[in-house]
Chain A
């Protein structure tokens, strides 16, 4: 008993003692536990802002590209974003092929389409600058023109002029049966 009392008295009696003692350990452990508990309590509050299950469930759509006439585009909505499905004319195809690998990153047109369906271009219709929807068949390169900050895309969706940093994004998609594509 006497020994224990002595040790408590020694702990309290010397505040200048720099050596870590049991009281410091308790302080640090309690502080660390409080921080850990705070982080654990904050995480659900942060995580609730991530996409909800029903939002994520809307991640795949199917579309029959034969509905798009030559020289036209159809805009469909996928994950809340517009997707351009464009059936390009022979003249447009000739132009984008003749230009070779351009854009950012530099890509040939063949890298942006599926084999056997070269005329069909599927891209996400959000300007890679700040997300506006580019206008069809406008701009200096026969593709799209973004009205917000003046980005020009060619008929392969590659960025050619303006502030946008990247080509229009080609989403993950595949031709499932004949002319039908599944996006996502």
Chain B
């Protein structure tokens, strides 16, 4: 949509004066009139929902920083003061804490949307890579933020996660000490985590701008997955406003209702009770788990018997997403027309949830209580350890084997020639449609 022509006409003298100096109103007006595929479904509203999440986190975060004290002696108490004494502080903190979970719910749906409809394929690779970068920055920001209340989970989460870096051979230990600012997690660590937690959301905002820039250069994908040629723009697109501002608005309201339900009725359901115990460097809680949105990656970390290997696998699980555009060999974007791949996709989603479930369990615990099994290598077969390994194997196989092989071997269904043209019986053959799609790309 980069060739979208400006239709903005400054009406008043002030607007004309401004337009020739800083065309910011024109920029906004052009954004609102962007031609948008007319067939976008509700899965496409999560981009706007994520924007709302980011702004919510930044605004509540800036306010919380006015009351929070980044010092090991005072951090926990300052958070309790926000909860008890600061006017409305409880609300702002609960919005911020649950907002992180909401952000991740939305981003996971947004990413799976992209995966299902092939939004990462040419010409949209950069959009996808920038999105992966945002996801990685979100994980880093969420981790840094979780340390700030200086409860038991904060402290031991920081201990375990920073120790991952210590697993790097040779340079791990010096980097670890440098990162923590001392031999252990302490005040220096808390201070720098606070500084970086404040910084990273603005870095995310910057990458979001690039993400949108790339999006509007390559053009939005759509549920059918075919590119919209210039001559069909009038038929196949609608202006962003009012059609998609309203559609996004409906989704945002529904999302906010769920958000509000958590904030007002179960604000601690997604957190861990142990984080209301002040950090104690001499006592580890009996069962430490990360926040729910990191559980799948935590499960992958524990699935590997070697310490450094586990760290590598965990980072590889995120890193592999960056090269996804080159692992998928299929020319058909939308999995609507890829019945075989659709099955593997559904299994992938279930495996992702399964990994999350496994990440919250003790590795040695039996999956089916009471069922007899045998010891395979280093653990009972009937244990979360082996279930996690099975899921981890599928997670990587999905990207490394299933995607390249299925793309080459499957027979896709006929792909419509355009967004508005229905598939006529005996009409477009898959090959023809693919060739056409390629030509347009």
Contacts and interface: CB of A to CB of B under 8 A. Distances in A.
Interface of A: 49-52, 55, 75, 77, 79-82, 125, 129-135, 146-150, 163-165
Given A50-B177, A55-B186, A133 B284 contact: yes
A149 B302 contact: yes
A149 B306 CA distance: 12
A148 B285 CA distance: 8
Given A49-B192, A80-B184, A163-B307, 18 more contacts: A51-B177, A51-B181, A51-B188, A75-B282, A77-B281, A77-B282, A79-B183, A80-B186, A125-B282, A129-B307, A130-B159, A130-B160, A131-B160, A132-B160, A132-B284, A148-B284, A163-B302, A163-B305
A49 B160 CA distance: 20
B159 A150 contact: no
Nearest to A134: B284
B156 interface: yes
B10 to A, nearest CB: 43
- Main SS at interface, chain B: loop
A133 B282 contact: yes
Interface string B294-330: 0000000010011100100000000000000000000
B188 A55 contact: yes
B108 interface: no
Contact of A133 (B283, B302, B362): B283
A132 B158 CA distance: 11
> Which interface residue of A77, A80, A81, A147 has the most chain B CB atoms within 10 A?
A80
A133 B184 CA distance: 13
A139 B211 CA distance: 50
A14 B362 CA distance: 72
A133 B156 CA distance: 9
> Which interface residue of A130, A147, A150 has the most chain B CB atoms within 10 A?
A130
> Which interface residue of A49, A129, A131, A164 has the most chain B CB atoms within 10 A?
A131
Given A130-B159, A132-B156, A165 B307 contact: yes
B364 interface: yes
Contacts, number: 82
A147 B287 contact: yes
A130 B184 contact: no
A164 to B, nearest CB: 8
Contacts of A55: 181-183, 186, 188
Contacts of A79: 182-184
Contact of B282 (A51, A82, A149): A82
Contact of B178 (A49, A80, A147): A49
A81 B160 contact: no
Interface in B307-362: 307, 310, 362
A61 B159 CA distance: 23
Nearest to B379: A150
A78 to B, nearest CB: 9
Contacts of B186: 55, 80
In order of increasing CB-CB distance, the 6 nearest A-B pairs are: A80-B184, A79-B183, A132-B284, A130-B163, A130-B160, A131-B163
Nearest to B385: A150
A36 to B, nearest CB: 22
Contacts of B364: 150
A98 B422 CA distance: 80
Contacts of B306: 165
A141 to B, nearest CB: 16
A55 B185 CA distance: 11
A80 B163 contact: no
Contacts of B283: 133
Nearest to B159: A131
A150 B362 contact: yes
B64 interface: no
Contacts of A165: 306-307
A138 B288 CA distance: 18
B37 interface: no
A81 B156 CA distance: 12
A90 to B, nearest CB: 28
Contacts of A149: 302, 363
A172 to B, nearest CB: 13
Contacts of A82: 281-282
B179 interface: yes
B424 interface: no
B286 interface: yes
Interface string B147-189: 0000000001001101110100000000001110111111010
A129 B304 CA distance: 12
A7 B344 CA distance: 70
A95 B183 CA distance: 33
23 contacts: A49-B179, A49-B181, A55-B181, A55-B182, A77-B281, A77-B282, A79-B183, A80-B183, A80-B184, A81-B183, A82-B281, A125-B282, A129-B163, A130-B159, A131-B163, A131-B166, A132-B284, A133-B284, A146-B284, A147-B285, A148-B160, A163-B307, A163-B310
